[in-house]
Amino acid sequence: MRVVLIGTAQDGGVPQAGCGCSRCVSALRDPSKALHPACCLVEGSDGSLHLIEASRALPQQLGIAAISLGIGNTLVPDTVTITHAHLGHIDGLGQFGKEVMGSSGTRLIASKSVIDFIRKRGLISPFEVNNVERSVPFSPSEKCGFQFEFIPIPHRDEFSDTHAIKVIGPVSSLLFLPDHDDWVETLDMVGQSSIREWLKSLEIDFALIDGTFWSENELGGRDMSQIPHPPISDTIGRLGRKEDGDPEVIFFHLNHTNPVIDPSSDECRELSSLGWSVGEQGTTFVL
């Protein structure tokens, strides 16, 4: 089975609406430089297709997945799994409706509070609903050959609760963690004393980790407490250099201001020198 990373940006994407920075302007002029909101597509061993998150860039992201998997130019997911109810993670759900894809019976997998929020938004009709119990592995379809596990995570729960997703394959496993508030709260919630100990306890080979910002000073005078995310500089300060037995840690969910988007930046070189990396759209993980 395979997992394709089809979105590496924060909810606003790159270019971001209302922004005239050089990176966003460049992406407007050259669509090949665009980054889509954080999202993955999982291909089961039976050929079934399972979307994690549904962003407004759904057409482009499904195209990236189709090309990366070598399965033609178009595809339709069999299931959609959502981590939480913030805009960039659910605003593609409407495209499954009659106005676009006209889907029916697609399985929508999320916690009860996420499902309740989606229902209030009027986006539930194309889907068969499946509420998930946290920390109980399950298969999203009967013969897909892998399992998901929902892991509770603290993150601005004004609309719904939030979960990371562990994708458990027949050989390897992957953590999908696009959003959380800070490492102190997260490690307390999962009952671990360090990032390395937590990742080791999960028995994963790949960790897609919230890398929204590089530092707390990235947005100038804006109050960062309103949009809490652990900056990459804090995460690598806690992790240090990659050690034997560590999973591959890949940072994604990148804000358009994050310097690691530029592979030639000092920050990206620092990250690489420690043995960690930045996510790239179209990267495929074999599990």
- Any idea where the domains of the chain sit in the sequence? 2-286
Token pair of 232 as six digits: 């990459």
The predicted-structure confidence for 103-128, as pLDDT tens digits, reads as follows 888 999 999 999 999 999 888 888 88
Fold of 2-286: Metallo-beta-lactamase; Chain A (3.60.15)
Tracing tokens 């990267």 back to the chain, one arrives at 283
The predicted-structure confidence for 137-162, as pLDDT tens digits, reads as follows 999 998 999 999 999 998 777 778 88
The predicted-structure confidence for 42-66, as pLDDT tens digits, reads as follows 999 999 999 999 999 999 999 999 9
State in Å, rounded, how far the first CA of the chain is from the last one: 6
User: Which residues are CB-neighbours of 214 under 8 A, at least 6 positions away?
Assistant: 231, 232, 233, 258, 259, 260, 267
Helix, strand, coil % over all residues of the chain, rounded to 5: 25, 25, 50
Q: From 46, 47, 66, select the one nearest 6 (Cα to Cα).
A: 66
Q: How much is the pTM?
A: 0.94
